[in-house]
Amino acid sequence: MATYRISGVWTGSGGVITHYAVHTVADTTKNTVTLASKTSKADAIRLVEQASNIVTTLVWNSTNKAWYHGEIVHVVGSGSSKYLRSKPDSSLTDNLDHLPNFSLIY
C-alpha cells in the first residue's frame, strides 16, 4: 500500500486537466512527502485505481503556513471518459479544479 498527495494540476486547451502534481508520502506519521512529479492524467488514474493506494489532495493553509492533506481522490466515469474527483462537498479548496494550476507558472 502506498499513499500519495495531489497538490496541483496542469491544464490544456479549454481548461481541461492534463497532468497532476503527485507526491509520494514518505512518512505517514510525520506527513512528509517527496517533491512533486508531473504525472499524466492516465497515469494518475491508474495510480488511484490501484485498490491498495490512498490518494488525497494536498492543500496549503496560508493561515497556519503549512500543508495538510485534504479529501480522498476517486476515479469517476468509465472507458475513455474517466477522470479524477475529490469528495464533492462545498469546500472549494479541496477540489482538484481549485488546486494551483502549474500551467500558469511554467
pLDDT in tens, 47-93: 999 999 999 999 888 898 888 888 899 999 999 899 999 876 656 66
Reported pTM: 0.89
Distance CA 68, CA 28 (A): 12
Domain count, the chain: 1
Q: Note down the domain range covering 80.
A: 3-104
In this prediction, residue 48 carries a pLDDT of: 97
Angle at 73 between CA 71 and CA 32, to 5 degrees: 65
